[in-house]
């Protein structure tokens, strides 16, 4: 016979508030229709950062990123992880936007600019923003997926 646990809130033993919920590497999420499943831990993003290369070369916000370094025009190396990846074969995605349109509440888009990952190690990676040549982008967003060490 299977069991079901229905609760509104999970708190620590002292009753002081939140708790850490741990799930195993083999935990599975069932699709809305019930026909498909995915490994929960494998599907989680392992790092992300939103930063600018232009000017201060500063992170606006991040997760699992300990530092980023301005290497050259359009090049950020390294973007270092707080917690290392299990191998250098993780996947990633990058977006860079070379300018922000004046007097607008959103970033402009200029499809003459692109970018991508450079070298990858278990402790971090590099990225490059470029057009015809390297360009420091105002808006860079990078995310990584894979196994943590």
pLDDT digit string, tens, across residues 111-135: 456 788 989 999 999 999 876 677 8
Distance between alpha carbon 93 and the CA centroid of its chain, in Å?
8
Neighbours of 66 (CB within 10 A): 14
Q: Where are the domains of the chain?
A: 45-145
Greater pLDDT, 82 or 135? 82
**Whole-number pLDDT of residue 105:** 45
pLDDT at 101 exceeding the cut of 60: no
Confidence of residue 110 (pLDDT cuts 50, 70, 90): low
- Helix, strand, coil in percent for the chain, rounding step 5: 5, 40, 55
Give the dihedral sign, CA 56/114/131/77: positive
Whole-number Å distance between alpha carbons of 55 and 51: 11
pLDDT-above-90 percentage for the chain: 40
């Amino acid at each position: 016979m299977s069991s079901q646990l229905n609760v509104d809130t999970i708190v620590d033993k002292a009753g002081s508030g939140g708790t850490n919920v741990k799930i195993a590497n083999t935990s599975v999420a069932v699709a809305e229709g019930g026909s498909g499943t995915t490994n929960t831990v494998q599907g989680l993003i392992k790092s992300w950062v939103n930063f600018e290369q232009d000017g201060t070369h500063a992170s606006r916000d991040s997760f699992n990123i300990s530092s980023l370094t301005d290497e050259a025009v359009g090049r950020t190396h390294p973007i270092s992880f707080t917690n290392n990846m299990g191998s250098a074969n993780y996947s990633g995605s990058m977006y860079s936007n070379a300018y922000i349109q004046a007097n607008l509440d959103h970033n402009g888009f200029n499809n003459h600019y692109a970018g991508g990952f450079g070298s990858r190690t278990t402790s971090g990676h590099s990225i490059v923003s470029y057009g015809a040549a390297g360009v420091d982008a105002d808006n860079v967003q990078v995310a990584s997926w894979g196994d943590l060490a």
